[in-house]
């Protein structure tokens, strides 16, 4: 199956004239279209409006009017499935299989706690806070093959994903960030370039408060003792040994942020200077009180 | 008749409102000198203005360079890292590295920058399903022959394959993503 594409291309180049009149082009600045007057092609006629009647005299009935029948928009009742869709929070899915692939290919470091920032920094998935995206939803696809021990912080997780991570001795928490904090997390370089203080994360809104205080969903505002009980209960349900976080080797891995804190080791209210590679910490008592947790 | 009058009236009223409101806003808008606004409060209190001037005494700050290590780990990766060598393949997620011993001499397929196979499944709007292999070099027609031979032994039905010699890609008709990936892995790509 020999193709003749290269031969044809070579023939074309051989026969093509190098300089020709049809190859000429006018100079850019001198080349202008003539302005066309807006009018009908035949002068002083109906201008595309037809002959007589409502169309010509601009007395057409309103849009949706069906000549006396009950119009469609009144005949069919409302369907309010999408009410308030522009205000709803969106959590784009991110599966355990994708996370395992990232760990295999050295894209995330499992010796440190993983959070939204370290996942977004791989440039494989993107979160756009402007489109009402409030972080990632860790789905249970690939829960059976998941094998690594991680300390991860996500924004939404189902029961099966929680079980898959705790089966391997890992830790998972669900955490809420508002849009302002998410913009700082998803684009750290752009945020530090603005030279504004690191924001203080507010508590979740009323409709999300129940989820983030629930020990069964490993909410970051839940009571730690209830979370411990819930971990034991889930281990009984799925049939594995409950994880133990008190070992000395993993004391650095299983760290938690403050509920008001966005980044590890950096408090809200501090200002980062990328040029001087320094952090500015204001000492004004009013300022410190404002950013306290 | 009364209804039409009411409708027209409403329309006129709406039209008038729509035309006038932005114009009024423009009329009352002022161009502020921003330095003036920052340095002086409205209404004007001299004590407040003194606090904001350049001669004012600002509260203390502490500058630390030690904590900058926490900032460095927040910055995005500039390059894709090379994966570590492992004892067992495939890895838990099913990834396999390239094997140069299996690769034929006539042609080759390069991995993507993320160390993945360059075969892409697409479902078109008319329901057509295709799998595209990209990043091919060498004799593309030999690759096509080998692929059709693989399909003849592994798939019941005949599979259509399109070759684009200039664009260096191959298009397979139907959702045969797994078979194509298996073929490429068996050749060591």
* Per-residue pLDDT reduced to its tens digit, A244-257: 888 767 777 888 89
Q: Which residues of B touch A123 (CB under 8 A)?
A: 76-77
Are residues B76 and A188, on separate chains, in Cβ contact within 8 Å? yes
Are residues A124 and B114, on separate chains, in Cβ contact within 8 Å? yes
How far is residue B136's CA from residue B107's CA, in Å, rounded to a whole number?
7
How far is residue A233's CA from residue A215's CA, in Å, rounded to a whole number?
11
- pLDDT, tens digit, 9 for 90 and up, residues A65-107: 999 999 998 998 888 888 888 889 999 999 999 999 999 999 9
Higher pLDDT, B32 or A228: A228
Residue with tokens 């972080």: A135
Share of chain B above pLDDT 70, in %: 77
Judged against a pLDDT cut of 70, whether residue B21 lies above it is answered with: no
Are residues A279 and B82, on separate chains, in Cβ contact within 8 Å? no
Average pLDDT of the residues in B54-73: 88
CA of B55 vs chain A CAs: smallest distance (Å) = 18
Are residues A117 and B71, on separate chains, in Cβ contact within 8 Å? no
Query: In chain B, what are the domain boundaries?
Result: 2-52, 107-186
- In this prediction, the answer to ipTM > 0.85 reads no
Nearest to A279 among B68, B77, B92 (CB): B68
Q: Which residues of A touch B70 (CB under 8 A)?
A: 263-266
Query: In chain A, what are the domain boundaries?
Result: 93-291
Higher pLDDT, A38 or A145: A145
Buried b (16+ CB within 10 A) or exposed e, A268-286: bbbbbeeeeebbbbbeeee
Homologous superfamily assigned to B107-186: SUI1-like domain (3.30.780.10)
How many residue contacts between A and B have a Cβ separation below 8 Å? 98
In the DSSP assignment, the letter for residue B130 is E
A252 exposed, middle or buried (CB, 10 Å; 0-12, 13-18, 19+)?
A: exposed
pLDDT band at B51 (very low <50, low <70, confident <90, very high): confident
Query: Nearest residue on chain B to A280, judged by CA atoms?
Result: B63
Q: Which residues of B touch A282 (CB under 8 A)?
A: 59-61
The pLDDT, as a whole number, for residue B11 is 47
Q: Which residues of A touch B82 (CB under 8 A)?
A: 106
Q: What are phi and psi of B63, to 5 degrees?
A: -110, 125
How far is residue B46's CA from residue B33's CA, in Å, rounded to a whole number?
18
Whole-Å CA distances, A23 to A14, A16, A28, B115:
16, 11, 15, 45
Kindly report each contact of residues A232-238 with a partner whose C-beta sits within 8 Å and lies 24 or more positions away, as own/partner. A234/A159, A234/A162, A234/A163, A234/A166, A235/A163, A235/A166, A235/A167, A237/A163, A238/A163, A238/A167
Are residues A264 and B76, on separate chains, in Cβ contact within 8 Å? no
Nearest to B84 among A101, A106, A117 (CB): A106
CA of A137 vs chain B CAs: smallest distance (Å) = 19
Is it true that the peptide bond before B90 is cis, omega within 30 degrees of 0? yes
The pLDDT, as a whole number, for residue A24 is 79
Judged against a pLDDT cut of 60, whether residue B35 lies above it is answered with: no
């Amino acid at each position: 199956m020999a193709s003749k594409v290269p031969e044809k291309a070579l023939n074309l180049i051989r026969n093509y004239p190098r300089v020709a009149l049809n190859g000429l082009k006018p100079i850019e600045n001198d080349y202008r279209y003539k302005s066309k007057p807006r009018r009908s092609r035949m002068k002083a006629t109906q201008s595309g409006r037809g002959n007589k009647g409502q169309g010509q005299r601009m007395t057409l009935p309103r849009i949706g009017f069906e000549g006396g029948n009950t119009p469609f928009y009144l005949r069919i009742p409302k369907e309010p499935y999408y009410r308030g869709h522009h205000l709803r929070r969106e959590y784009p899915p991110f599966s355990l299989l994708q996370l395992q692939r990232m760990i295999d290919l050295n894209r995330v470091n499992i010796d440190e706690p993983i959070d939204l920032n370290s996942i977004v920094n791989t440039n494989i998935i993107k979160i756009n806070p402007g489109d009402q995206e409030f972080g990632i939803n860790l789905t249970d696809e690939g829960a059976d093959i998941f094998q690594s021990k991680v300390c991860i912080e996500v924004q939404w997780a189902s029961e099966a994903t929680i079980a898959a991570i705790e089966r391997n001795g890992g830790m998972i928490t669900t955490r809420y960030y508002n849009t302002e904090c998410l913009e700082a997390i998803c684009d750290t370089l752009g945020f530090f370039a603005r030279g504004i203080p690191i924001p203080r994360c507010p508590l979740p809104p009323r409709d999300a408060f129940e989820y983030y205080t629930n020990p069964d969903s490993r909410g970051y505002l839940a009571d730690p003792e209830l979370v411990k009980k819930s971990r034991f209960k889930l281990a009984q349900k799925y049939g594995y040994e409950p994880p133990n976080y008190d070992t000395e080797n993993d004391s650095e891995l299983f760290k938690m942020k403050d509920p008001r804190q966005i980044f590890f080791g950096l408090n809200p209210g501090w200002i980062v200077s990328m040029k001087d590679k320094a952090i500015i910490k204001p000492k004004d008592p009013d300022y410190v009180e404002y950013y306290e947790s | 008749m009364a209804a039409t009058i009411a409708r027209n009236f409403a329309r006129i009223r709406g039209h008038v409102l729509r035309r006038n409101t932005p114009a009024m806003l423009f009329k009352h808008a002022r161009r502020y000198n921003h330095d003036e606004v920052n340095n002086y409060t409205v209404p004007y209190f001299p004590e407040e203005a003194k606090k904001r001037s350049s001669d004012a005494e600002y509260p203390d700050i502490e500058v630390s360079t030690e904590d900058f290590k926490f900032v460095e780990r927040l910055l995005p990766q500039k390059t894709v890292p090379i994966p570590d060598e492992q004892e067992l393949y495939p890895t838990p997620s099913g990834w396999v590295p390239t094997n140069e011993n299996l690769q034929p001499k006539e042609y080759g397929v390069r991995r993507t920058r993320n160390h993945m196979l360059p075969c892409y499944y697409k479902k078109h709007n008319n329901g057509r399903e295709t799998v595209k292999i990209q990043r091919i070099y060498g004799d593309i027609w030999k690759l096509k022959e080998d692929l059709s031979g693989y399909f003849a032994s592994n798939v019941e039905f005949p599979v259509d394959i399109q070759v684009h010699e200039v664009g260096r890609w191959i298009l397979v008709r139907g959702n045969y993503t797994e078979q194509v990936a298996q073929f490429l892995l068996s050749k060591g790509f």
